[in-house]
Amino acid sequence: MELALDAKAALGEGPRWDARIARLLWVDIKGKTLHRFDPATGEDAATPLPAMVGAAAPTADPDRVLVALEDRLAIVDVNTHELEPLADIPHPHAGMRANDGAVDPSGRFWIGTMAIDEQPSDGALYRLDGRELTTVLAPVGLSNGLDWIGDRMYYVDTPTQRIDLLDWDGDEASNRRPFVTIEEGAGSPDGLVIDDEGGIWLALYGGAQVRRYSPDGELTEKLEVPADNVTACWFAGDRLFITTARSPQPLGGSLFVAEPGVSGPPARAYAGT
């Protein structure tokens, strides 16, 4: 485990590797910024946003990035900082925001929601269809990590202390059931990503750790992180980038990188623009 960037983020999240430009997209939710990190030079370019940003995803144009703001989805131009609106998020009440999101194998963006005070709430998981959001799962307590492989979709609703498994037919997800339960005292399940062998890498917020589970649900690896609040992870080839949030440790809020001995695919680009 190495320090990639002493970012001092308030709440670093959502790493996504854009292989076309060899940059890692990530967000500082509470810092209201989108970042593009260049591991080759150490340069980290920040794009300020008008609200908290829960997630980001590449689009067909590497300079135009889909961002999930507190109450809406938009495309931001990283050069001009201009925003193109896509869809409003239909929060059932005030005090909610977008959280983790990802692009599915069909190129559609999925986004989850949560309460700003992080208490279990009337969150939901939505799918962006055109310029409208379709509800996929509701209610959920705190929608978090999700990813797809083959006929499987994995999903985290943090208060359940689980990774759930759903059947995936290339269009819809169904038959949600428990896949792995995180034991008491190990931290809270947060972001996740799937490697090229089908293993599921899970960030543990409050647990100072990233874990790998096999497709059978067996715990096969633990990576210790020098910051308690581990939020998410994503592959850049055979490197695993890890985001963290502010914590008692000096490096809380930093970006870390590990070489876990397995590779993973780059982020999928949103196909809607």
Distance CA 143, CA 226 (A): 25
Q: Are 25 and 16 in contact (CB under 8 A)?
A: yes
pLDDT above 70 (res 273) = no
Q: What is 2-258's CATH number, 2.120.10.30, 3.90.550.10, 3.40.50.620, 3.10.520.10?
A: 2.120.10.30
> Given this model, what pLDDT does residue 13 score?
98
Query: In terms of residues, how long is the chain?
Result: 273
Kindly report, residue by residue over 178-217, the tens digit of the pLDDT.
999 999 999 999 999 999 999 999 999 999 999 999 999 9
Domain ranges of the chain: 2-258
| Cβ contact 240:199 at 8 Å | no
How far apart CA 197 and CA 190 sit, in angstroms, is 21
For residue 251, pLDDT beyond 80: yes
Q: Looking at residues 252-261, what average pLDDT do you find?
A: 98
What is the average pLDDT score of the chain?
Answer: 97
Q: Which of 222, 225, 219, 234 is nearest to 205 (CA)?
A: 225
Rounded average pLDDT over 31-60: 98
CB 78 within 8 A of CB 65: yes
